Each structure stands twice: as C-alpha cells, then as structure tokens.
Amino acid sequence: MFDYTESKHSHFDAACRAFALANNVEAVARAVGMTPQVLRNKLNPDQPHKLTVDDLLAIVVYSDDARLIDGVLAQLNCLPSVPVNEVTTSSVPVYALNATADVGAIAGQAVSVEPMTQARRNAILDRASNAIRNLSLIMLTVESRFQSTPIMAAAVDMVSACAMPGIV
C-alpha cells in the first residue's frame, strides 16, 4: 500500500539537531530520567548512542515538541504528525489563520535570495509542518462537529442525495 523506502536525506538527524537547538536539553534530560550529556550524545548523529523508542516517547511527551516524531515520519517519506489532543471545536478560525500565516512565511522565503543555511531550512520546514498540522486540525474539527450530531449528518446526507440530479 505504501512504499516505506528509507529516505536518502537524514531527516531524523536534522530533527535531532533542531530539537537540541530549540529546547533546554538539560531540563528535558532530567525530566525523562537521563543525564544531559547522555541526551546530547543521543541527539548527536555522530555519536554511537541512539534514542530508543521509549526515550523518544518520553522526550516528546515532556517537551510537547513533535519535531523528533516529524523527523522519523519524514525519514519514512510520511507527512508530519498531527496532535489530535489539540482539536477544539471553537478553533477553526485560529487554525485557518495560523495555516495562512505559515504559508505566507514560506512564500516569503521562496522569493528570498539569501543562501539556504541549515537554520533557514529548519525554519521553512517547521513552517510547512505547522501549516500541514493546522490544516489537518481544521479537517479533524469539522469532522468531529459533523459526527457529533449523527441525526443532523444523516439529514444533510439525505437532503444532499435528493438534491443531486440523476438520483431517483
């Protein structure tokens, strides 16, 4: 069904570097039960120590930063993660505005003549991930609103089916 070939780009290594730059590694390490130096080593692709799945889960849960999970998904040629626990029915306008702002920032970077540095690359990819995440949250919110009233959903489906030409 899906072709999970390993990417030639080291998305996970880049995500580890970006995570280390964006978070207080010492606080995260203490919170997940390891020394800061061990966590630094595990986030450094040049070191032999690697993050385990349990480490990854504990770090993401504590930090609320899905960058490492997104790096794993990108390595597998998949889209970024979507935190379903953030879905609220009153936030569709906020999600739409955030997605629009992220796409606008990416458009601004697309016309920029600055050299493509690692920091600029990370910023563009973070914005793209956030835009996808916000659009997905819109989809989930609309779907949950629609499914929360099954009688209304059935009525809308029936009216839509009757209104379509060619349907008897």
Which H, E and C letters describe 106-119, residue by residue? HHHHHCCCCCCCHH
pLDDT > 80? residue 147: no
pLDDT of residue 84: 76
What 3-state class would DSSP assign to 20? Answer: helix
Domain ranges of the chain: 11-75, 86-163
Decide if pLDDT at 16 tops 90.
yes
pLDDT interval class at 4 (50, 70, 90): low
| Residue 11 amino acid letter | H
**Tens of pLDDT, residues 42-85:** 999 899 989 999 999 999 999 988 889 989 998 998 888 887 77
Percent of the chain residues topping a pLDDT of 70: 82
**CA-based nearest residue to 121, from 110, 132, 135:** 110
Give dist(CA 40, CA 26) in Å, integer: 9
Q: H/E/C letters for each residue in 26-79?
A: HHHHHHHCCCHHHHHHHHCCCCCCCCCHHHHHHHHHHHCCCHHHHHHHHHCCCC
User: Which residues, other chains included, contact 56 with Cβ-Cβ below 8 Å and sequence gap of 6+?
Assistant: 68, 69, 72
0.75 exceeded by the pTM?
Answer: no
